[in-house]
Structure 1
């Protein structure tokens, strides 16, 4: 072995191999190796197993009494109506949701864990949480910055620059904040914080223009967005795209559809290959972001109603 390193070029070979191994590990850690991480703070007491079981039983009972069709769900405390339309050569799904209180609006993490490279499909997370309606969230795991709060637990308080974030408070009301000028820890009434954006509608007015776009995104894309119409009254819009039958929507077109649907405030979530709409036990839209045998992309999180 000692004689091997007498040749200078052999040191160069060894250095190159070690450098390649180091770079490979960094890439695997960043994009492949799952790594669970801890929450920063909780704004509410963790629900006990007994309370969770009671909530699950109540949900099952409510679902068993509900009237369900391919385009609707109707129970005493939750009403959902799905409408399909064509906009700009694109299939667009508009979902109107009305609840009797904010407890029906929830979020969930893949594998019920926060961290890097922890992913499942939207439909899998939805089924695990007995969701009636679900959409993909902000794919927080794709970035190392951006506020992350889920169901009252703050996981990340590092701002993603000058980014719009959606805050959903304990009453289920929406507001838009700027991460650069806001401290996540000071949002004491927040229940959910999602960081993707931008905001689409505020005070009933479209707040993006025809040149607005998500960084590195094409003009027309599959899209996912959520808005609030009034107290415990919400709207979700998911558009198809990147297919022969659907071109996709621009952010401006998406915002216009939100305004038409009656949203007073609306927010753009992760789109493109992540865009997924799950309703009454199945994926409704044509998804395009998956790999291997599935067209549904695995994501970090969902937003759902139950």
Structure 2
């Protein structure tokens, strides 16, 4: 009886997987976003709802990231960006931060394994943000994962950690000023976005954009869709500059660990409806 039940479960999962693949091929026949970003919110509330430890919520959140990355790759999305860890998250409890850093190290090394999803789909991994703030073991895992995927060209996965958009914009401004006048160093007092050095130099928008984390390491397509889960209606300092032009911002009430294909399909259909509408109007 056990063997029969296992066989039925395998058959059910196989049929469901084939149906999902077919449905994604149909969706991919229409307009597809080049760049999708996720604010992966709700791990802790999900854990409390499921009566789990907070750390378990973050582990389930990583599973959701792999799931959604594969969905996006099957749709031929060129780039996926995920808000994995904010600089502000260092203010959380020591136990939670330590658990998150341990999880990051473990999963980054897992991504390096031959046959993993990045290897299978030809995905280049970029870890973007103030990586010098990460523990040394995590920095080494970042370097290994980036090195091992450096030749992949089919798609890009940007893990933003530790990241805030204000820090990204500040760093870009510093680079623009330094490049415009190398002999005039950045003032020591310029420590954040609240202070802007007056050098009398101009930084065109395109030049500035090339200094951002998402373009400095590897060219990234414009951001088409930004999805935030858990129903919270704010950007939380994520990709603020990139959201300024033609980005569709979508809020899902689903907690991130529960987010899946059925939550994503209406978002893609809405993108396609608007894309077809623009084509008709032309």
Shorter-chain TM-score category? under 0.3
Query: What is the TM-score when the length of structure 1 is the normalising length?
Result: 0.25
Greater fraction of residues in strand: 1
Higher Cα radius of gyration? 1
Larger relative contact order (CA 8 Å, sep ≥ 6): 2
